Amino acid sequence: MTIRILLLALLTLLYAAPVQAHPHVWVTMKSELVYAEDGTVTGVRHHWAFDDMFSAFATQGLESKEKGKFTREELSELAKVNVESLKEYGYFTYAIADGKKAPLTDPQPDYWLDYNDSVLTLNFTLPFKTPVKAKELTIDIYDPTIFVDFSFDKKSPVQLVGAPQCKLDVQLPREMTFAEGKALAQIPADQSNTTMAWGAQFANKILVKCP
Amino acid sequence: MRCALLILAVLLVFGALDVTLAQPFGMSRTPAPPEIGGFTGWILAKQAEFYRMMSGTIRAAKADGSAAWTLMGISFLYGIFHAAGPGHGKAVISSYLVANDETWRRGIVLSFASAILQAFTAIALVGIAAVLLNATAKTMGDTVRVIEIVSYALIVLIGLRLLWVKGRAFLALLRPKVHDHQHAHRDHDRAHDHHHDHGHDHAHHDHHHDHAEEASAWGHAHAPEPSELAGRHWLRRGLAAIVAVGLRPCSGAIIVLVFALAQGLFWIGVASTFVMGIGTAITVAVIATIAVGARGLAGRLAKAKPGAGMILVRGLETAAAVVIVAFGALLLTGYIVSERMVGV
C-alpha cells in the first residue's frame, strides 16, 4: 500500500507540471478601453509596469546618457523587442463580445517604454480587428503558463475612454490564502492539474455591460 | 504490488504522452472551468512567494548586511520549491537512474552535480556577459536559447542511447530465441561494473548480488573487455546526464544575478545562486531516491519471478528511456517549455 502511494507520489512529481513555470515577471496593469464616437470599442490600451527585478534585468547593458535613467528613445529598441515577442502569446489579452471571441490585432506603432523609479512600463494599444459593439464585453488578461503574473493597479485599474452609458466591473484574480494552500496540499497527489486552468483561474477580468 | 509496477510503467509512457498533448499556447481562449492542481498549485504559489521576497531582501542587503543571511534562507527555500515544480531536470535524472539501474547514492551525486553545474552556468553567463561585456538582456536571452538547444539535444541523445541498449534487451527478452550475443555481453558487462563498485562501497553488497543474479538470468558469461570497462564507469557515464540537465541556467537565477549586479551586490547574487542550487539539488535527490526505490522493488520482484519479472524490469527501463527521448524531443521542438525568457 505504501509502495503504491510512493509510486503515485513519484509520478505526480514527475509529470504534474512539466509544462509550467512559476512567475518570473510581475506586471502591474492599468488598462483603458477606447471607444469611438459611434459607441463601438476600438481597442484596449495597456500600461504594464514590470517588477523591479525584471526591470533591472531588461535594462541591463542598455546605453543611456545619464546613468540609471533611460529616455523613451533609449528604450525604443527594447520596446520593439518586447512588443514583437508578445505577439507569440497573443499579448496575453483575450476578448469576448457577447459570448463570441473578438480578435485583437497587433499593436499600433505608437507603443513605447518608459523608466521611472527603477520601474519599466510598457505602453501599447491593441486594436480590435473590427470595432466591437456588445452588450457584454469581457477582457481577460493572463498568461496561461503563469510565467508572467498580471495584476491590476489598485488605484486605477481600468478606464473607459469616451464610453457611452456602460457599467464597468473589474474582477481581480483571487489570491490563494494560506488555508487554501494547506488544503490544496492535502488533495491526493494522483489528482493532477489541467495545466491551463491554473492560469485562467487567476485571470484579471474586465467586464463591461452596455444597454 | 506487481500491478502497481505495471501501472507505473504504463503511466511513465502516458505521462510522456500527456506532455505531448499539453501545448502552452494552443489552448482555447475561453477560460476553462476552474480546476486547481492541488500539490502543483501549492508549490507554484510557494516558489513565487519566495522569489518575490528576493528583490526586497537584496535591496535591504545594500544598507544592512544581515539581510544577506535572510536572502540565503529565502534562496534555499526557493531552490527546494523551484525544483519540485517545473523543470525537466528531475524527470530526466529520475528516468536516467531507472533506465540505468543506478543506486540511490549515485542518484544523489548526479542530482547535486547537475544542480551545482546549473548554478555555475548562470553565474558564468551573467559574470561574462553582464559584468565583463556589459551585454544586454537580449544577448543573454539569445545565449540561453543556444545553450538550451545543446542541452535538449543532449537529452535526446542520452535517451536514444539508453533506448538502443534497453529497448533491445527488452525485445530480446520478449523473443528469447533470437537472443543476440552482443547484447548478452553488454549485460554481463554491467554486472561487472557493479562488481567494480563493490570494492569502494560495501553498503552495496546486496545490490551487487542482485545484479549478478539478474544478469545471470541471461545465461551468458563472458569477461568484458578491459577497455570497455573503463569507459563504463558510472560517473563518466552519468556525466552526459549531468551536463544535459545542468547546462541550461535557470531564468530565475539569471534575473536575480542581474538585479544584484544592478544594486552593486553581484557577490550576494552569486552566493544566493549557489544556495538555490543546493535547495534544488535536495529536491531532485529526494525524487531521484524515490525513483531508485521503485526501481529496486521491481528488481526484487524480478528475482522472485524470473520470467515475467525480468520482462517487467526491462520494460520499465525501456519506458524510462522513452520518457527521456520524449522529454528531450518535446523540449527541443518547443512543445513543452521548461522555462522561458520573455520579452527580451
What confidence tens digit (pLDDT) does each residue in B67-124 have?
889 999 999 998 888 877 656 678 888 888 888 888 888 889 999 999 999 999 999 9
Helices (H), chain A: 2-15, 52-59, 76-87, 178-185, 195-201
Distance from the first to the final alpha carbon of chain A: 60
Residue A119 cell numbers, joined = 520601474
Mark yes or no for CB contact B340/A21 under 8 Å.
Answer: yes
Place B38 in a pLDDT band, splitting at 50, 70 and 90: low
Q: Is the minimum CB–CB distance between B90 and chain A shorter than 8 Å?
A: yes
Give the per-residue pLDDT at B341.
Answer: 54
Cβ atoms A12, A83 nearer than 8 A: no
- Write the single-letter amino acid at B295: R
pTM recorded for the entire structure = 0.72
**Nearest residue in chain A measured CA to CA from B87:** A18
Does B303 have pLDDT greater than 90? no
Among the partner residues A51, A82, A146, nearest to B44 by beta-carbon distance: A146
Instruction: Work out whether strand A41-50 and strand A25-35 pair parallel, antiparallel, or are unpaired.
Output: antiparallel
Contacts of B61 in chain A (CB under 8 A): none
Q: Is the minimum CB–CB distance between A109 and chain B shorter than 8 Å?
A: no
Mark yes or no for CB contact A85/B254 under 8 Å.
Answer: no
Angle at B216 between CA B213 and CA B220, to 5 degrees: 165
Residue A70 distance to chain B (closest CA, Å): 14
**C-alpha span between B185 and B190 (Å, rounded):** 9
Give the per-residue pLDDT at B35.
Answer: 38
ipTM: 0.72
Mark yes or no for CB contact B37/A188 under 8 Å.
Answer: no
Q: Strand ranges (DSSP E) for B173-212?
A: none
Place A44 in a pLDDT band, splitting at 50, 70 and 90: very high
**B245-255 pLDDT per residue, tens:** 889 888 889 99
B 117-156 → A contacts, CB under 8 A: 130, 134-140
Determine the average pLDDT of the residues in B304-311.
78
Q: Is B240 exposed, middle or buried (0-12, 13-18, 19+ CB in 10 A)?
A: middle
Does B283 have pLDDT greater than 50? yes
Does B193 have pLDDT greater than 50? no
**Nearest residue in chain B measured CA to CA from A89:** B25
**C-alpha span between B237 and B50 (Å, rounded):** 35
SS3 A119: strand
